[in-house]
Structure 1
Amino acid sequence: MVNCKNCGTNITSKFCPDCGQPAALKRIDAHYITHEIEHVLHFERGIFYTIKELITAPGQNVKNYISDNRSRLVKPIIFIIVTSLLYSLVAHFFHTEEKYIKSVDARTIENQFVITSKIFQWLQNHYGYANIIMGLFIAFWAKLFFRKYNYNFFEILILLCFIMGMSMLMYGFFAIIEGMTHTNLLMYATALNFLY
């Protein structure tokens, strides 16, 4: 008989009857890493499925995630980090990041905006974290202004993670088109984001 390494319960099968931990963990190898990546990206309950659901019925899917079923969609923090990473890669590859968040060069404005320039540079280099931090502030103010609704701060934050993730995908889509056609589409991308 083996004791569970997670909760200490006696295990008589392949899994712990209390916490579900496997009796013997497999070693981390290339197959394990591949499986983890597939788990995040696979279509059923993965990132592609989440994107499809958030395009077809965003309000209903987020409402279902908050109140009914959290296993259908990718976890919101993972979603916003992955989508922000995708946007960063696309914007960097097509060289459109300077147009979407233009940082101020402190040397040309006689060091008046050094802090602002540093903040914009950090935002430009860390979209995923910046989106989460902005989401915290937006969730706070949304909760304050819409306190008559029965959503708490964290439920609003979850909603914002999904919305901001989809926003990053839309900006990424327009960045690809802009990079290929060399036309400025920022206005259209922003309008589509507001409509969404």
Structure 2
Amino acid sequence: MPGSLPKNFPDPQIKRISTKTIGASLLSILNLERGIFYTVWELIKNPGAAMRRYLFTNRSGFIEPMKFLVVTIPIYLFISFTFFPDSGFFAGFENGLAGNQDDAIDPEKQALTKNLISIFKEYANLLLLITVPLAAIFTKILFRKYRLNFGEHLVINAFLYGFLTFASTLLLPTAWISTDVNSWLMALLYLVYTTYFFQSLFQFSWWRSFGNTILIYLFSLLITVVVFIGFMIVGLLVLL
């Protein structure tokens, strides 16, 4: 029971805040009390059945797809940037940008590079989110004969990329062994799980699913690079 309040405080007319209510609010915001772990398990067990159920029959128990992304992407980026700064695509992009500058010769370019990298890290979560609707456009074209609308493809890609981000976070500690090992495991995760995901969802052959995965993977790399280059151009225009 909470202690009595000082005389200059009003008598509570609503339930008082406690660590229990704060914890419950946090769980409600993140939907952790029922959604995210159930969703991850269903996406492991049978992603195709999970997607068909979410889209057409019963959405109870699942975390909302965009919330799934909004939860998993910041967690991945925070852990990656804080504890594993030399791993992943972001580190390669950052190192490539920094490597193009001669710090000893041009300190102004060095300062500009640091500012760009800082902005890049600040908005990295937004950049990743932007790639999801673009991927949905591509899968809608690729799987057009199944006649799913854009919103349904957006949901499918949100769950797919949310799961991949969740699993990638679990793989980050392998960067302590080797950044190359981490990179290969990330690529293997993407290829194997995406093949499994679309084979389970659309029920076509494994070879066809793998071929579609390669196309989606190449498109994802392309749009990621294009989005990042566009971001860097805008960043340069702002800073110059």
Judge same fold: TM > 0.5, yes or no.
yes
For the pair 1:29 / 2:17, whether they are aligned, the reply is yes
For the pair 1:166 / 2:163, whether they are aligned, the reply is yes
Higher mean C-alpha displacement, 61-70 vs 139-148: 139-148
**Residue of 36, 41, 46 corresponding to 2:32:** 41
What CA deviation, in whole Å up to 9, does each residue of 1:145-165 have, x standing for no partner?
Answer: 322212110110111111111
CA contact (8 A) 1:90 1:176 kept: no
Work out the CA distance in 1 between the residues paired with 2:120 and 2:43.
25
Work out the CA distance in 2 between the residues paired with 1:28 and 1:78.
28
In the TM superposition, what is the alpha-carbon distance from 1:27 to its structure 2 partner?
A: 6.2
For the pair 1:50 / 2:20, whether they are aligned, the reply is no
User: Which protein is richer in helix relative to its size?
Assistant: 2
Work out the CA distance in 2 between the residues paired with 1:37 and 1:186.
33
- Pairwise CA RMSD: 3.0
In the TM superposition, what is the alpha-carbon distance from 1:92 to its structure 2 partner?
A: 2.4
The size of the alignment, in residue pairs, is 165
- 1:67 alignment partner AA: F
Work out the CA distance in 2 between the residues paired with 1:189 and 1:126.
22
What CA deviation, in whole Å up to 9, does each residue of 1:51-75 have, x standing for no partner?
Answer: 1111111121122111111122101
Q: Which consecutive residues of structure 2, in runs of 5 or more, have no partner in the other structure?
A: 1-13, 194-240
**Residue 175 of structure 2 aligns with which residue?**
178
Work out the CA distance in 1 between the residues paired with 2:86 and 2:57.
38
**Residue 130 of structure 1 aligns with which residue?**
127
What CA deviation, in whole Å up to 9, does each residue of 1:31-53 have, x standing for no partner?
Answer: 443212223112xx321121111
**Residue 75 of structure 2 aligns with which residue?**
86
**Residue 146 of structure 1 aligns with which residue?**
143
- 1:41 alignment partner AA: L
- 1:100 alignment partner AA: F
For the pair 1:108 / 2:97, whether they are aligned, the reply is no
State the structure with bigger RCO (CA 8 A, min sep 6), 1 or 2.
2
CA contact (8 A) 1:76 1:161 kept: yes
Q: TM-score, normalised by structure 2?
A: 0.58
Work out the CA distance in 1 between the residues paired with 2:120 and 2:152.
25
What CA deviation, in whole Å up to 9, does each residue of 1:72-102 have, x standing for no partner?
Answer: 2101111111111221122123223554212
Q: Which consecutive residues of structure 1, in runs of 5 or more, have no partner in the other structure?
A: 1-25
In the TM superposition, what is the alpha-carbon distance from 1:174 to its structure 2 partner?
A: 1.8
CA contact (8 A) 2:88 2:179 kept: no
Which aligned segments of 4 or more residues in structure 1 are displaced greater than 3 angstroms? 26-33, 96-99, 120-128
In the TM superposition, what is the alpha-carbon distance from 1:123 to its structure 2 partner?
A: 5.5
